[in-house]
Structure 1
Amino acid sequence: MSDFARQQGEFQRGILAGDDSILAEILDSPREKRETLFGVYRYAYGSRLVEAMRNDHELLHLYLGDEMFDEMGHAYVKARPSEHPNLRWFSQGLPDFLKSAEPYRDHPALSDLAALEKALNDAFDATDAPVLELTDMASFAPEIWNDLIFRPHPSALRLDLATNASAIWLALKNDETPPDAEILQQPSRLLIWRQDTTPMFRELATEEAMMWDEAANGIPFGVLCEMLATYDDPDGAAARGAGYLHGWVTSGSLTAVSVGD
């Protein structure tokens, strides 16, 4: 290893792991000690990561304010060192961090808000794929509808939130005062997807959330309707299932349909 490569390695370890070996390679300036001089690089590295987190979580930043967000961001940088060269992926673990680390775990709306923003970012970056159209559905004869299997669009995903974070997100997005954070009696069941180029989300009723989850696992339409019959009026199960399906197709949440075995 060349001396320059060794110095580069020590410099990197000094920033990422707090290893002070590199200080032996640095001279004090007339005004500052070497620890202070190198500390500028350490702080700048962490601040750049926190800046990337601000970009990925604009509304969480707005909710917390500059000081609290930066404090949280530097705690995350310390707990979860960057392991990917692309900054886009650095804050992927933020919802789990906020759910488990003190003092943030005492405020579950923070992890939920981070999870919602993460899901919207993931929907935006998801792979492109064809969108299932109503005309595609018209090509199937009524007698084989029970065997139809639907494939979610790559951008579509489900997210359950324990708090009213979606209401907080909407208020912040609309420049309104957000409601007080609260834990819900029942989870807020969200469907997130990308419509054209815009990430979207909406809350699902318990029945529709169940149908989506099972449909995403490859359960055919006829079985889905049988499952809906256990939730409400059995005679209206097929109509409710068709209504949910119509909403998924028109919103662009599905990419394909096929006939099962």
Structure 2
Amino acid sequence: MSEFARQQDDFQRGILSGDDSILAEILDSPRAKREVLYGVYRHAYGSRLVDALRNDHGLLHSYLGDEMFDAMGYAYVAARPSHHPNLRWFSQGLPDFLKSTAPYSDLPILADLAALEKTLNDAFDAADAPVLALADMAGFAPELWNTLKFQPHPTSCRLDVSTNAAAVWLALKNDETPPDAVVLDEPGRLLIWRQDVTPMFRELGAEEAMMWDEAANGIPFGVLCSMLATYDDPDGAAARGAGYLHGWVTSGLLTGVSSDD
């Protein structure tokens, strides 16, 4: 390692960890001591990363307010230093940090809000792909429908939350006072995707969430309908499955369909 590269590493380590040993190699300026000069870099580094968090998690920022969000942001910067040259990826670990780090872990709504915003951001950045149309489904003979397998659109993602984060997110998005945070009796099941250029989500019932999860794993339509029959009226399982499928297609949630036969 060259001397310059070593100094760069020491400089970065000092900014990230608070190690001030690099000060021995920094000169005072005519106007300020080296400690002040180095402190400017250290503060600017943390401030820029907190700004990136605020950009990626604007509604979490609205929920917490400036002071609490900044305190959380600097705690995240200290615990999860950036190791990627693109700031877009710095906030990826925020939901896990909030879920596992006190005092934020005492408020599960925070991790759920961060996870919802993260997944919406990921949907916005996900790759483009063709969207399956109802006309594409019409090309399959009725006797083949039981064998059909569906490919989720690359922007789609399922997310389970333990709180009413969806309702809180929607209120914040509409500049309304959010409801009090509550822990749900059973997980909230969210389906997130990008429609045209707009990330969106909707809540799923337990039955549709099961069908989506299994369909995303390549389970054919006939087997999916058999599984639906264990949830509710067996005689209506095929109709319910077709209804869910129609909703997925018209929402642009699928990119392909195939049959093994």
Q: Which residue number corresponds to residue 145 of structure 1?
A: 145
**Structure 2: unaligned runs, 5 residues or longer:** none
- Paired position in structure 1 for 2:231: 231
Deviation at 1:137, TM superposition (A): 0.1
Alignment of 1:83-162 (within 5 A): 83-162=83-162
- 2:208 partner SS: helix
TM-score by structure 1 length? 0.97
Q: CA–CA distance in 2 between the matches of 1:190 and 1:184?
A: 13
Give the equivalent residue in structure 2 for 1:25: 25
CA contact (8 A) 2:123 2:155 kept: yes
Tell me by how many angstroms 1:32 deviates. Answer: 4.6
Whole-Å separation in 2 of the counterparts to 1:255 and 1:198: 17
Say which is worse superposed, 226-235 or 19-28, in terms of deviation. Answer: 19-28
Distance 1:214 1:187 in 2: 18
What residue number does 1:246 align with? 246
In structure 2, what is the Cα distance between the partners aligned to 1:5 and 1:232? 65
Provide the C-alpha distance between the structure 2 equivalents of 1:86 and 1:193, rounded to a whole number of angstroms.
23
- The residue number in structure 2 matching 1:203 is 203
Unaligned runs of 5+ in 1: none
Q: 2: distance between equivalents of 1:46 and 1:172?
A: 26
CA distance in 2: counterparts of 1:111 and 1:11, whole angstroms: 33
Q: Tell me, yes or no, if the aligned pair for 1:149 and 1:218 is still in contact at 8 Å.
A: yes
Match of 2:34 in 1: 34
Q: CA deviation at 1:39?
A: 1.2
Report the equivalent of 1:165: 165
**2:111 is aligned with what amino acid?**
S
Partner Cα distance (1:101, 1:119) in 2: 20
AA partner of residue 123 (structure 2): A
User: Which contiguous aligned blocks of 4+ residues in structure 1 show a shift greater than 4 angstroms?
Assistant: 29-32
Work out whether 1:183 is the aligned partner of 2:183.
Answer: yes
Secondary structure of 1:185 counterpart: strand
How far off is 1:5 after superposition? 3.4
- 8 Å CA contact retained: 2:124, 2:197: yes
How much has 1:29 moved relative to structure 2?
4.8
CA-based RMSD: 1.3
Partner-residue secondary structure (3-state), 1:140: coil
Aligned to 1:256: 256
Between stretches 67-76 and 27-36, larger displacement belongs to: 27-36
CA distance in 2, matches of 1:12, 1:25: 13
Structure 2 contact 133–249 (Cα < 8 Å) conserved: yes
1:9-62 Cα deviation digits (max 9, x unpaired): 322222123232220122345665422321111111011000000010000001
89-98 vs 24-33, greater mean Cα deviation: 24-33
Which is further off, 118-127 or 11-20?
11-20
Match of 1:80 in 2: 80
Whether contact under 8 Å (2:95, 2:112) holds in the other structure is yes
User: Percent identity over the alignment?
Assistant: 80
CA deviation profile, 1:156-212 (whole Å, cap 9, x unmatched): 010000000110000000010000000011111000000001001000010000000
Q: Is the 2:17–2:78 contact (alpha carbons within 8 Å) kept by the matching residues of 1?
A: no
Q: Distance in 2 between matches of 1:129 and 1:37?
A: 49
Q: Output the CA distance in 2 between the equivalents of 1:229 and 1:37.
A: 69
Q: Deviations over 1:70-95 (max 9, x none)?
A: 10000000001111111000000000
Supply the distance in 2 between the matched residues of 1:225 and 1:12 (Cα, whole angstroms). Answer: 57
Equivalent pairs counted in the alignment come to: 261
